[in-house]
Structure formats: C-alpha cells, structure tokens
Amino acid sequence: MSDETSDARVLEEALDDEYRAWATYEQVIRDLGPVLPFTRILASEQRHIDALRSLFERYGLVVPENTWLGNVPRYASLREACEAGAAAEVANGRMYDRLLGATATEEILRVLRNLRDASQQRHLPAFQRCAERAADAAGARHAMGRRHSRRTGRS
C-alpha cells in the first residue's frame, strides 16, 4: 500500500458505505418482502463487501463490523424505498469518485472503480426504474379510484 494510513481510511469508508447499503436493502426486504430490485442488489452489495474485506485481509487490516444492522431508515412503500435507493447510489458514486483521488494503490483503485461502476451503471438505473414504475402504479391506482368514486358518487 502506498500510504497505509490513507489507504486504510479509504477502505474503511468504502466498506462502511457498502455495509450501510446492505443493511438498508436487507431491511427493505424484511419490511416489504422479496421485492426487486432489492433482492438482486442485496446480493451484489454482499459481493462488494466481500471484495473490500479481501483487501483488508490482504493488507493485514482489521475488518470492521457492520454497525448499520438495525440502524437504517425504514420505508413505508416500494416507491419511497426505490427513491431512497437511487439517492444512496448517487451519493455512493460521489464517494467513490472522491476516494479514487485519495489512493494511488493500483489494486485498491481497481476495486473502487469496479464498485463505483456497478453502482452507477447497474444499481442506480435499477432503482430509478423501480421508482418510476412504483409512481406509475400509484398514479394508476389513484386514477382508478377517482373514476370509481365518480360512478358511485363517493369521494
């Protein structure tokens, strides 16, 4: 590692963010059931965690525990969860861009780039599509309810 202290901080921040994402998406599945895209992205987040943990082990660093379990936001609807997921992936991309400038260690750079690219190219679009579909479905339910109430005279 080029600067062990700096690289350790980079890895700790990245792992903490991946832990938070995993805990959040796992909580969504507990609350809302095994809904897409959360089930697929949860598995991907585990692979991200595993990749970072392997760097900790390779460089002889103590792997921090996930302190996010049970300490994440909860969402009442799939739409809210998907919107929050999209916002988290945007923030994740910014974090990785910043961390990429904080290390010169090629192996760490490669892993960080891969994690950022997965976040921005796969997770973010999946959450955006999910939020759009959930919004469309909510709008359709609302419109059907208005038509029903006009026919029945209920409001």
Looking up residue 31, the CATH number of its domain turns out to be: 1.20.1260.10
Q: Which domain holds residue 84?
A: 4-152
Q: pLDDT tens, position by position, for the chain (155 residues)?
A: 456 779 999 999 999 999 999 999 999 999 999 999 999 999 999 999 999 999 999 999 999 999 999 999 999 999 999 999 999 999 999 999 999 999 999 999 999 999 999 999 999 999 999 999 988 776 555 454 555 445 555 55
Quick one: which of 109, 17, 123, 125 has its CA closest to 55? 109
Number of domains the chain contains: 1
Q: What is the C-alpha separation between 54 and 68, in angstroms, rounded?
A: 20
The DSSP code for 37 is T
Q: What is the C-alpha separation between 30 and 24, in angstroms, rounded?
A: 10
